[in-house]
Each structure stands twice: as structure tokens, then as C-alpha cells.
């Protein structure tokens, strides 16, 4: 009898331990993050990076992992070289070595190191007194191309001159500027530029490839080795860069350049196009340079189209110019007959094949978000995420038309998620502004019960040329709201990407009317078609442009909302035009500069409607946000306090436009969810 009771108790405990629990923001912060996919030349190993969260030291910790593709059942393994810190790993063209960045040396500067394929030992290849920012391996092991932040000097030693100059700057705290940018994203200008150097790995000697160039390769603040490439024969480096001059804050005129590996013969290959040219990529035979190009100068959200440059004849042609999607990442197929590209498409981020000869486009993936991919002789290895799953490594099924149809999961990173309960979601559409079709997503609470109503988090994406679709986010994650008992509604209003360039263009000079109409009609549609949404207990939240929209609806559409959350939102569009750094954005979106056309900046200016603010609002900002300066958040909070509207201000002195540090992210989430729970309670 006692044995039977014990068995029953054990079974009950087992059932409890195996029961799924709701996915929360604390679970989100504990997850590992996979990125940086690199498949070996023989397609037998997949190398990738895993970033774990070190809450004690308030930082992320990255490690290199490898998956043996020839033995799918064998678990992925962490490489021993990770213990000293390893980033940006790449295979050499022969697959004999793994190259990576690390600051494990005695001087603690970031340098390029090399390991065998087992990752058991490391050899330092560069010994620059400056940190290496990025690198490319020259085919055939003939050397490296690296980037260093140096003070441009067309005649002297840029590295030595930079070391001396920065030492002099350290003697005082003042800085004198005679042109913009004075600051960019989250950093004040110090006179340095990212420049390229060729490194002879045999003797360590370095040759400047861009001496004196007044621009950054890679571009700041988010550029990397995708901004430059080495030709298959190792003779030439091609890179994308913008010459700064005195017009840098107003210019999107990036060009593609070519320079010999010995630093001679620098040539601008796209000088006739005054808009953005980016991401140069050589065909396998080295004869054709593919790159992305925009048509309209000054517009950062124009459609990136494919250009093919015949390096022998100099002829340039457009590829698939009628395909109304903007190319994101791009690779050549091994046979050189097609390009493999990713692009936003109807709320997903998909993989496509573009035929070089005909320009025909074929979709290769379905829903979700393709984060990275590599084509192999037997199929595709890829990273994919979705609204209910962070990125994971997959291999495509042989013979499948879509790489994610029946794909095999290769890794068990974040396997604990099997014990978590996620909310079900679906995409919907409705007639929005101008009766044009607009799409959105609705997400049920993870504890959804048919017939019950739930409070709603109405999430508004930033950009504004962006999308809240079938994707995973470590900042604005819809499933954390579902896990907290909220339903979620997200609308891809006019201005969103993935629905054609005309749809994207529609928001420029119309920040406050067309997208607002979409949001209003989308909200009405969702309430009508999803009875589990409690329209009387709803909150609107957004960041960047989403924060702007929250500030705008506070005075123009406040009726549905119990409370609001504005993160790094624009409060005063006119002052934004004077204080932001990338002026091309503010001036394009408002139809001119703030000093020449103040009326246009005031057309949809939230600051002019604060007299109507009455909905409780949580304002959040980072002091190192130079894109939307912290004074915008302070101004919004001041207006709320002046009007005695219930409000809170959360300020991070060490964060930029995003909240990146683990403890800060924990505080962000706990503050936001406490605000939502407090104001959306049943009355």
C-alpha cells in the first residue's frame, strides 16, 4: 500500500515537473543567442557563436561552437578557444584553420588569432597597437585584410600617428570640432576613421589600403566585414564607403571602391550613382561584382536593388529590377548562376533565389525569419527564428522546395524552451489608409481559454521603415506579453517594409496621419474579429518611431488606452531636426530642414498637443542615445508632470537607443510590466 502511494506521488511530481509554464521576460533574458553562422568549405562543420547572459557581471559572454554536419546526432560542441574570448570567427578558404578576434593577449587589445579546426590551440596573427575591428581572410592563406580606427593620414604612418594623437588628446577633456558629425549613435567623434590594412601573416607587416581616405570602412556605427570583400585570386579588395567631407550628416552616398592588395589604384566604381551602393560580393570566378544599390539620394529606406558589374567590360546592369522587395543579405550560388538573397516579405523575412541570366525570383523559404544561411552541395544550413522561437540551426530536407519545410533541427541550444508555453498567433489583413491592404498580427495569451477576455498590449514598431512580424526579438518580444497574460496586437502600418516600396514610401512627410489611420483601423478590425481582446483594458507601447507614435496618439487618439509606454520616442519634431545626428533622415521624413521648413516639422509634432495629454505614460530613455537625444524623453516627462498626468521616467545613463546590459534590461522589463499590470486591472 505504501509502495502504491509512493508511485502515485512520484507520478504526480513528475507530471508537475513536466508541466509547461508561461514564458516570461526573465526567461527571455536567460536565453542563449545564436549568430554568426559559418560553414566550412567542405560543408562538414558549421561554426557559430553563442552569447550567454552573465547577470552577475552585467554583460554578455560569447563562445564559439561547432556542429559536425556529417553526424547529425552528435551534439554541438563548445570550442576550447572560447575560454579566452572569441568573436567573428571565419574559416579560411581551405578549411584548415579557424580565424577569430580575441583580446586574450598580454596587451588586451583585440587582435586576429588562428586555431586548428578542433579549436584547441591559438596563434596570434596581428600585433597592432590598436584594436582590430573586423577582418577578412585573403583566399589561399595569403594574408588578412583588417580594419583599424585611425586618424587619416595620406602620407605618414596612420597607426603610429593615431597612437600619438590619441595620447595627446588624453591630456585634456575638451574637444574642438569644425564639422559634423560631432557625435554619432552613442559615441562622440574623436577624429578616427575605420580604415583597411593588408597584413602579411608571415612577417606581420601591414600595408595601408585606404590611406588618407575621409570615410569609414566598415561604416559606423553598425558596419562589419560585409562592407568589404577580397577577390578570389587575392589581388583586389572591394569595399563600400561614404566620403565624409562636410556633408556626411546629410549624405547617403556610399560608393563601391576597388583597390589592389598592395594599396595602389584606388578606384570609385559607382561614382555616377549619388545614392547608396553597398555590400560588394565577387562571383566564384571573380569576373562579376554584385552589390546592392538604391536610386534616391538622401533616403535611407529606399529599395536596395541588385547590380551586377562586369569587371572586364565595366558594364553594369540591374538584376530583377521589377521585383518589389528590398534586398537584405546576399550570397553567390556556388555555380555563379544565381544569387541567394534575403528580404522582408509580407511580415516574414524569407530566402529567395535570383537567376543571374533571367532575373527570375524564386522563394526558398516560408514564414518566420531567416537569420543566416549557407548553401552546401546537399542543401542549406541555416539559422531561423519566429515569433515563438529564438534562432536555431537547421538543415534543409533533401528535395524540398522550401528549405524550412520539414527541416531538421541540428542544435539543442535553449532546449529548456520545450517546458515553456507560448501564445498562438496569426496574421490578419484589413483595408487601411487609401483602402490599401494592411497586415497585422494578433497573439493570444499563453494561458488562453476560449470565451475569456484579456488585456491587450498594442505594440507599435520603430523605424518607421521596419516591421513587427513573424520574428523573435530580445528587446520587444511579443511572447513575454503573452506570458504575462496579455493579448498582443501589432500592425504593419504604411511605412513598413516587406510590402513593396510604394507602401514603404507612404509614411514620409506623413508620420502622423496615414500610419495613424492604419493603426486605428487595425485596432477596430482586431476588436471586431477577435472577441478575446478586452478593448477596455488596453495599453499602447512603442520605441523610436513607435515612441513618437505613442507621444502623438497621447494627444490625438487617447480614447482606447488605459496607459502608454514611450521608449526613446520623438517628442518635438522640430528640435529633433536640430539635435539628431543623421540629418538626412529627419530632413527626408519631414520634407526639408527644421530651420528652412519649420512648418513641415510642426505638421505632426506631438509637442504641440500636450494640452490634450491625460493618459498615464511611462517614458524611458538612454542618456547615450544621440539618434533621439535624451532631452526628447525629458521633455515628454516634463509635459506630463506639468499637466499632472500620472507618469514615470526611467532613464539609463549607460544605454543608447537600445537597452543592452542584462541588469538594465531586467529593470526595463520589470518597470514596463509593473506599469501595464497596474493600469490594466479590472475595475
- What's the pLDDT score for residue 1? 35
Q: How far apart are CA 552 and CA 43, in angstroms?
A: 52
Q: How far apart are CA 117 and CA 114, in angstroms?
A: 10
Mean pLDDT value across the chain: 95
Domain membership of residue 50 (yes or no) is no
Q: Which residues, 6+ apart, have CB-to-CB distance to 678 below 8 Å?
A: 563
Judge whether 71 and 91 are in contact, CB under 8 Å: no
Higher pLDDT, 3 or 250: 250
**Which residues share a beta bridge with 60?**
53
* Position 80 confidence tier, pLDDT thresholds 50, 70, 90: very high
Domain membership of residue 622 (yes or no) is yes
* Position 130 confidence tier, pLDDT thresholds 50, 70, 90: very high
Among 35-39, 165-169, 475-479, the range scoring the smallest mean pLDDT is 165-169
- What's the pLDDT score for residue 18? 55
Q: How far apart are CA 22 and CA 413, in angstroms?
A: 19
Q: How far apart are CA 151 and CA 154, in angstroms?
A: 10
Q: How far apart are CA 629 and CA 581, in angstroms?
A: 9
Residues above pLDDT 90, as percent of the chain: 91
- What's the pLDDT score for residue 14? 37
- What's the pLDDT score for residue 399? 86
Convert the pLDDT of each residue in 388-409 to its tens digit. 999 999 999 988 999 999 999 9
* Position 105 confidence tier, pLDDT thresholds 50, 70, 90: confident
Domain membership of residue 515 (yes or no) is yes
* Position 474 confidence tier, pLDDT thresholds 50, 70, 90: very high
Domain membership of residue 330 (yes or no) is no
Q: Which helix (H) or strand (E) holds 33?
A: strand 33-39
Q: How far apart are CA 432 and CA 525, in angstroms?
A: 10
* Position 156 confidence tier, pLDDT thresholds 50, 70, 90: confident
Q: How far apart are CA 81 and CA 65, in angstroms?
A: 10
- What's the pLDDT score for residue 617? 99
Reference 455, options 539, 564, 540, 560; nearest CA is 539
Domain membership of residue 406 (yes or no) is no
Convert the pLDDT of each residue in 200-257 to its tens digit. 998 989 999 999 999 999 999 999 999 999 999 999 999 999 999 999 999 999 999 9
Look at residue 345 and give its three-state secondary structure.
strand
Domain count, the chain: 1
Convert the pLDDT of each residue in 529-554 to its tens digit. 999 999 999 999 999 999 999 999 99
Mean of pLDDT values over 35-53: 96
Mean of pLDDT values over 604-616: 98
Convert the pLDDT of each residue in 552-584 to its tens digit. 999 999 999 999 999 999 999 999 999 999 999
Domain that holds residue 666: 421-679
Mean of pLDDT values over 6-20: 43
Q: How far apart are CA 542 and CA 565, in angstroms?
A: 6
Mean of pLDDT values over 448-477: 97
Look at residue 288 and give its three-state secondary structure.
strand
Higher pLDDT, 589 or 175: 589
Mean of pLDDT values over 617-643: 98
- What's the pLDDT score for residue 6? 33
Mean of pLDDT values over 307-328: 98
Mean of pLDDT values over 69-87: 91
Question: What CATH number corresponds to the domain at position 565?
Answer: 3.40.50.1820
Mean of pLDDT values over 82-108: 93
* Cell digits of residue 657: 537607443
Domain membership of residue 590 (yes or no) is yes
Mean of pLDDT values over 326-351: 98
Domain membership of residue 205 (yes or no) is no
Q: What is the pTM of this model?
A: 0.95
Amino acid at each position: 500500500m505504501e509502495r502504491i502511494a509512493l508511485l502515485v506521488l512520484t507520478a504526480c511530481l513528475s507530471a508537475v515537473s513536466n508541466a509547461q509554464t508561461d514564458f516570461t521576460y526573465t526567461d527571455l533574458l536567460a536565453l542563449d543567442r545564436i549568430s554568426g553562422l559559418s560553414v566550412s568549405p567542405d560543408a562538414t562543420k558549421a561554426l557559430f557563436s553563442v552569447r550567454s547572459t552573465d547577470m552577475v557581471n552585467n554583460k554578455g559572454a560569447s563562445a564559439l561552437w561547432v556542429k559536425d554536419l556529417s553526424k547529425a546526432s552528435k551534439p554541438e560542441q563548445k570550442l576550447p578557444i572560447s575560454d579566452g574570448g572569441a568573436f567573428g570567427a571565419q574559416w579560411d578558404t581551405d578549411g584548415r584553420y579557424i580565424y577569430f578576434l580575441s583580446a586574450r593577449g598580454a596587451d588586451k587589445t583585440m587582435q586576429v588569432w588562428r586555431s586548428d579546426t578542433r579549436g584547441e590551440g591559438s596563434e596570434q596573427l596581428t600585433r597592432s597597437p590598436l584594436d582590430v575591428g573586423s577582418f577578412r581572410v585573403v583566399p589561399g592563406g595569403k594574408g588578412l585584410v583588417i580594419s583599424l580606427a585611425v586618424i587619416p593620414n595620406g602620407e605618414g604612418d596612420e597607426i603610429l600617428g593615431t597612437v600619438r594623437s590619441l595620447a595627446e588628446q588624453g591630456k585634456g577633456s575638451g574637444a574642438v570640432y569644425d564639422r559634423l558629425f560631432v557625435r554619432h549613435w552613442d559615441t562622440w567623434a574623436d577624429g578616427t576613421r575605420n580604415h583597411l590594412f593588408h597584413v602579411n601573416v608571415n612577417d606581420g607587416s601591414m600595408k595601408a589600403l585606404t590611406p588618407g581616405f575621409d570615410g569609414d570602412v566598415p561604416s559606423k556605427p553598425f558596419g562589419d566585414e560585409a562592407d568589404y570583400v577580397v577577390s578570389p585570386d587575392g589581388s583586389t579588395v572591394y569595399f563600400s564607403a561614404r566620403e565624409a567631407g562636410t556633408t556626411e550628416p546629410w549624405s547617403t552616398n556610399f560608393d563601391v571602391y576597388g583597390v589592389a592588395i598592395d594599396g595602389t589604384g584606388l578606384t570609385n566604381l559607382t561614382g555616377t550613382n549619388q545614392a547608396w551602393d553597398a555590400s560588394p560580393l565577387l562571383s566564384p570566378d571573380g569576373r562579376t561584382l554584385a552589390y546592392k544599390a538604391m536610386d534616391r539620394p538622401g533616403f535611407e529606406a529606399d529599395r536596395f536593388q541588385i547590380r551586377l558589374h562586369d569587371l572586364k567590360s565595366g558594364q553594369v546592369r540591374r538584376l530583377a529590377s521589377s521585383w518589389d522587395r528590398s534586398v537584405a543579405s546576399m550570397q553567390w550560388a556556388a555555380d555563379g548562376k544565381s544569387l541567394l538573397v534575403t528580404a522582408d516579405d509580407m511580415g516574414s523575412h524569407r530566402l529567395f533565389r535570383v537567376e543571374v541570366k533571367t532575373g527570375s525570383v524564386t522563394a526558398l523559404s516560408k514564414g518566420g525569419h531567416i537569420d543566416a544561411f549557407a548553401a552546401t552541395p546537399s542543401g542549406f544550413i541555416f539559422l531561423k527564428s519566429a515569433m515563438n522561437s529564438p534562432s536555431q540551426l537547421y538543415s534543409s530536407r533533401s528535395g524540398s522546395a522550401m528549405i524550412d519545410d520539414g527541416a531538421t533541427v541540428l542544435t539543442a541550444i535553449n532546449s529548456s524552451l520545450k517546458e515553456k508555453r507560448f501564445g498562438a498567433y496569426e496574421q490578419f489583413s484589413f483595408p487601411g489608409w487609401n483602402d490599401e491592404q494592411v497586415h497585422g498580427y494578433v497573439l493570444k495569451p499563453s494561458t488562453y481559454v476560449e470565451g475569456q477576455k484579456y488585456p491587450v498590449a498594442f505594440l507599435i514598431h520603430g523605424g518607421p521603415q521596419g516591421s513587427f512580424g513573424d520574428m523573435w526579438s530580445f528587446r520587444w518580444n511579443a511572447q513575454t506579453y503573452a506570458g504575462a497574460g496579455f493579448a498582443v496586437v501589432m500592425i504593419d502600418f504604411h511605412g513598413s517594409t516587406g510590402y513593396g516600396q510604394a507602401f514603404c514610401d507612404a509614411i514620409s512627410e506623413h508620420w502622423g496621419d496615414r500610419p495613424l489611420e492604419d493603426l486605428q483601423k487595425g485596432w477596430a478590425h482586431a476588436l471586431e474579429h477577435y472577441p478575446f481582446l478586452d478593448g477596455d483594458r488596453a495599453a499602447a507601447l512603442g520605441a523610436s518611431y513607435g515612441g513618437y507614435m505613442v507621444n502623438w496618439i497621447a494627444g490625438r487618439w487617447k480614447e482606447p488606452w488605459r496607459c502608454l509606454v514611450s521608449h526613446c520616442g520623438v517628442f518635438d519634431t522640430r528640435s529633433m531636426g536640430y539635435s539628431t545626428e543623421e540629418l538626412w533622415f529627419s530632413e527626408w521624413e519631414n520634407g526639408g530642414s527644421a530651420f528652412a521648413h519649420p512648418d513641415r516639422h510642426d505638421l505632426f509634432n506631438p509637442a504641440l498637443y500636450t494640452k490634450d495629454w491625460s493618459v498615464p505614460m511611462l517614458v524611458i530613455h538612454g542618456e547615450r542615445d544621440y539618434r533621439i537625444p535624451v532631452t526628447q524623453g525629458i521633455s515628454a516627462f516634463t509635459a506630463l508632470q506639468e499637466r499632472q498626468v500620472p507618469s514615470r521616467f526611467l532613464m539609463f545613463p549607460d544605454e543608447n537607443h537600445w537597452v543592452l546590459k542584462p541588469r538594465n534590461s531586467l529593470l526595463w522589463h520589470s518597470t514596463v510590466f509593473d506599469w501595464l499590470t497596474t493600469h490594466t486591472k479590472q475595475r
